[in-house]
Amino acid sequence: MTFLELTEGPLWYAAATIFVVGVVWQIVGIVLLGRKPDRSVPRGSALAGAVKANVLHLWPHGGFFNKTGFHLVAGYIFHIGLFVLVLFAAPHIVFIQDHITGFGWGALPRWGFVLAAEAAFCGLILLWARRIGDPVIRLLSTQDDLAGLWLTFIVMLTGCLALGESIEFLRALHMLTVDIWLIYFPFSRLMHGFTFVFSRGYMGATFGRRGVTP
Amino acid sequence: MTDIAKATDVFMNKIDAQVAAHLDACVRCGQCSEACHFYQVTGDPKYTPVYKLKPLETVYQRYKAPLSGIKRMLGLAPPELTASDLEDWAELVYDACTLCGLCTVVCPMGIDIASMVRKVREGFSAAGLVPEGLTGAAQRAIEIGSPLGIKPQTLEKIIAEQAEEVGIPIELNKVGVDYLVILSAMEVLNFYEVIGALARLFKKAGVTWTISTDAYEATNVGIQMGNLEIAGTLVGRIVDAAEKLKVKYVISPECGHAYSALKWEGPNLLGRDYDFEVIHILELMDKLRREGRITFKGKDDRKLTYHDPCQIVRRGGIVREPRDLLGQVASNFVEMKDCGVYNICCGGGGGVSANPRAEDLRLKAFAVKKAQVDDLGGVDALVTSCANCRNVLEEGIEHYGMDLPVIGLSELLADYLDDEGDAASAT
């Protein structure tokens, strides 16, 4: 078994299993903690509040646009770039078709891929610079926050190195980092990619009953 | 001595799905610092709202988070909470958070930090770390009936004076009326004209009402300090009095935390529904206005603006009513930038104003509110609907040498009430 066969084969399936089981375990674990029923007489709908909070917090509101502009731009550039890369880069579509879905979809042209990659790198580097440069975020950051950030950076970097697909080792190296990233994900703050819906939703539900969405 | 075991137990019990989702979703972006007046005026990162949750988060990550067992085994879980951790955090939790909740607005994850600071305070209360100002207020509330030590006899005297002043009898402990009025200690002590104002407004509207000498105090220091036993006792007093007097409604007065305590937290504290409805004074006034039961003549032509009390507006949902009411009596009303749900706290909510240890920081934090008011280019008066905000605003205004009167909304309404004609029929 070659290094590539290992990382795209048994290691990939193990990592993907740990990722899926870990994420489901985390989410179910959080939800099963439950909430006591609220006996107060509601003025509005909890469900509507949960939906509204999820939409409202996609974008700064309440006069905070200027104060949060850096994080907003860097965050969105990174996330959009990353998702475009993951879902629309031609090698990724082939991999997803072969290993997960059984079907594929149209890939981005090369210029789109390069643009998305540049955006993702640019956003991630800006977020990293803020994390180490801003005294508030430095105080809040843990080893986990930095590990998640660096791991994601390494995955993207090895992905770029493997871009030509001509050197098998580089492709295998990229897959290895992807596998490690997937295994790390459920144990880390990278889980925010799933828990944000619940966080916004619970808050929105609480205040939706009160007829307001902060 | 700090009881770390009790605090840890409380934190464990307080971590539910919502807390867990919030703590797991936080990406440490630090945006919440942009919303916190204590950080804004000091620039000290320790005042970042989410940082104030560290004791709760430590317990969550160590013991209660899904997969925390594996993390403990691998040595990846945070270390045990210590007594000195809690002692170090007491200032952040009690002195530097008004529970205003503006940090939730700015948080991209929608984390309700204020409600979790409340839970942290519950742990701190169990550990014996409540500041003296709050424990003293709680003792007076339990023993005398008011956190400011106002005895029933004093209240009766003030009510009698107000009744005489407006020429309207006010009956105490009257069974079978529609509404029970409760008051905040700050209203009774500093802004007692509101009692006369209510008497006039209610007479005009044909509202039947009373005040109970068993339960006249609306504020709930138990909520502010994080002691749910005291909070439940204080809410229970109001509920018992209301049910004994067989009223249909209890009117929550111009006080932010009082509204939160009675309307949103009370039924959960007591574990049962009320036999009456809770209505905020602004909701009632707006209802009476819409029904044509109170009308106004003339308008205040001063340039007025409105300070939104956080617990009534951002965390209470009463946003439209004060504006509709002000529209009836103010001809030159201007909104502050980022008003309503997004307004800036007075700096003294959540028990901060009752905590002498926090006074310097509170007055410093008032600079953020001052800037919001100054941004209007000068106003003649500030209207609000929370007696505690009013008191804190007045102290801040005096501290910064500003010339700005602060007015209670109910009193402003009474000033322009059209008293002529018969009272509307009571319902």
DSSP A173-213: HHHHHHHHHHHHGGGSGGGHHHHHHHHHHHHHHHHHTTT--
Does residue B316 sit at the A interface (CB-CB below 8 Å)? yes
CA distance B418 to A172: 83
Put simply, the answer to whether A54 touches B51 (Cβ < 8 Å) is no
The total number of structural domains that make up chain A: 1
In a domain? residue A141: yes
| DSSP one-letter code for B214 | S
Put simply, the answer to whether B48 touches A41 (Cβ < 8 Å) is no
* A122: enclosing H helix or E strand: helix A110-133
CA distance A131 to A155: 19
Does residue B20 sit at the A interface (CB-CB below 8 Å)? yes
At A174 the pLDDT is: 96
* Chain B environment of A43 (Cβ under 8 Å): 317
* B408: enclosing H helix or E strand: strand B406-408
Put simply, the answer to whether B17 touches A40 (Cβ < 8 Å) is no
For residue B380, what are the CA distances in angstroms to B111, B247, B283, B330, B407?
Answer: 37, 39, 26, 12, 11
pLDDT in tens, A76-126: 999 999 999 999 999 999 999 999 999 999 999 989 989 999 999 999 999
Nearest to B348 by CA among B395, B316, B303: B395
Tell me the mean pLDDT in the region A30-37. 96
CA distance A144 to A131: 12
- End-to-end alpha carbon distance in chain B: 55
Nearest to A25 among B33, B67, B314 (CB): B67
CA distance B251 to B211: 10
* Residue B99 backbone class (left: φ over 0; alpha: ψ -120 to 50; beta: rest): left
CA distance B64 to B72: 11
- The range of the structural domain enclosing residue A82 comes to 3-19+69-200
* Chain A environment of B102 (Cβ under 8 Å): 62, 214
In a domain? residue A96: yes
Does residue B62 sit at the A interface (CB-CB below 8 Å)? no
At B1 the pLDDT is: 81
* B193: enclosing H helix or E strand: helix B193-205
Put simply, the answer to whether A214 touches B105 (Cβ < 8 Å) is yes
* Residue B28 backbone class (left: φ over 0; alpha: ψ -120 to 50; beta: rest): left
Closest residue on chain A to B319 (Cα): A212
Q: How many CB atoms lie within 10 A of CB B376?
A: 14
Is B292 buried (19+), middle (13-18) or exposed (0-12) by CB count in 10 A? exposed
At B209 the pLDDT is: 98
- Mutate which of B106, B113, B265, B276 to test chain A, going by most A C-beta atoms within 10 A? B106
* Chain B environment of A40 (Cβ under 8 Å): 263-268
At B163 the pLDDT is: 97
* Residue B176 backbone class (left: φ over 0; alpha: ψ -120 to 50; beta: rest): left
At B422 the pLDDT is: 59
* Chain A environment of B341 (Cβ under 8 Å): 62, 212-214
Nearest to A140 among B30, B104, B264 (CB): B30
Domains and CATH numbers, chain B: 4-129 (1.10.1060), 134-289 (no CATH), 294-415 (3.40.50)
Residue B255 · residue B218 · CB < 8 Å: yes
In a domain? residue A205: no
Does residue B88 sit at the A interface (CB-CB below 8 Å)? no
Put simply, the answer to whether B25 touches A30 (Cβ < 8 Å) is no
Does residue B289 sit at the A interface (CB-CB below 8 Å)? no
Closest residue on chain A to B19 (Cα): A199
At B426 the pLDDT is: 44
Q: Which amino acid is at B285?
A: M
In a domain? residue A152: yes
Q: What is the CATH number of the domain that holds A152?
A: 1.20.950.20
Is B121 buried (19+), middle (13-18) or exposed (0-12) by CB count in 10 A? buried
Residues 6+ apart with CB under 8 A from A186: A18, A19, A21, A22, A23, A25, A26, B67
* Chain B environment of A199 (Cβ under 8 Å): 21-22, 24-25, 109-111
At B427 the pLDDT is: 40
Put simply, the answer to whether A145 touches B28 (Cβ < 8 Å) is yes
In a domain? residue A162: yes
Q: Which amino acid is at B364?
A: K
Tell me the mean pLDDT in the region A175-189. 96
In a domain? residue A28: no
In a domain? residue A108: yes
Put simply, the answer to whether B17 touches A198 (Cβ < 8 Å) is yes
Put simply, the answer to whether A136 touches B45 (Cβ < 8 Å) is yes
At A43 the pLDDT is: 95
- Min distance A175 CA to chain B CA atoms (Å): 25
Q: Which stretches of chain B score pLDDT less than 50? A: 426-427
Tell me how many residue pairs between chain A and chain B have CB atoms under 8 A apart: 189
* Chain B environment of A33 (Cβ under 8 Å): 15-17, 19-20, 64
Put simply, the answer to whether A38 touches B271 (Cβ < 8 Å) is no
Q: Which amino acid is at B406?
A: V
| DSSP one-letter code for B402 | -
pLDDT band at A127 (very low <50, low <70, confident <90, very high): very high
Nearest to B413 by CA among B211, B193, B257: B193
For residue A37, give both structure tokens.
């029923």
For residue B380, give both structure tokens.
């003649």
In a domain? residue A136: yes
Does residue B313 sit at the A interface (CB-CB below 8 Å)? yes
Nearest to B112 among A54, A191, A203 (CB): A203
* Chain B environment of A38 (Cβ under 8 Å): 268
